[in-house]
A = this chain, B = another copy of it.
């Protein structure tokens, strides 16, 4: 796992947003080519993060946002008594670190679930560029707003849905995000454990496991460890809209 020392030119280390294939998903959405070229100065460095490593921890001083170039992350919050809650799973093109702006300290942990690469966006620079590039400013506001709306969705999950509804919503959400990234909507590998899914959904890992089995028995999906195939998208959606009780 030791990196061989290979001489690299500076441009190779810098990440050019204008060249990135995620530019339609990530911060640069909606920028003109000229604006995009300006933005290339914004991303200072790329950073490799190995599976299990943190990008930041709760309490760390907030300095930068992180755009995921490749890989998969979770964010979680720990209570003093040892309980913890996964607050989200993030994939390529999504932005990590928004929680830190308010207090200038991060309030959660961001951990790579697989070997990943992130673009480091110094926040002070983002604010400066935002003042010059209206489209960037506006898009950044949208990113934050969408995070708030996503959180409301999680509150709905946790507040009023039953176990199987939560898991169905979770799978459909993953499916939709994989689709947006050009992957199969119906077949993917989970990067997180049953325990992490449970923590996110407010359930115990046994309940998650049972719900997976139940879905499989009903012909909605197939599960082999972390490999999921969705057989009946409509069936999963119906689970969400049907009120039982």
Contacts and interface: CB of A to CB of B under 8 A. Distances in A.
A131 interface: yes
Interface in A111-161: 127, 130-132, 134, 137-138, 141-149, 151-152, 154-156, 158-160
Contacts of A200: 159
Contacts of A87: 152, 155
Contact of A102 (B103, B142, B241): B142
Interface stretch (A6-14, A20-28, A77-85, A189-197): A77-85
Given A101-B141, A146-B102, A159 B85 contact: yes
Contacts of A155: 85, 87, 151, 154-155, 158
Interface of A: 77, 79-85, 87, 98-103, 107-108, 127, 130-132, 134, 137-138, 141-149, 151-152, 154-156, 158-160, 199-202, 241-243
Nearest to A108: B152
9 contacts: A85-B156, A85-B159, A99-B145, A107-B149, A130-B137, A148-B148, A151-B151, A159-B199, A160-B202
Number of copies: 2
Contacts of A146: 102-103
Top-4 shortest CB links A-B: A101-B145, A151-B151, A158-B158, A102-B145
B131 A127 contact: no
Contact of A243 (B83, B98, B158, B241): B83
Nearest to A86: B159
Which of A87, A130, A155 has the most chain B CB within a 10 Å cutoff? Answer: A155
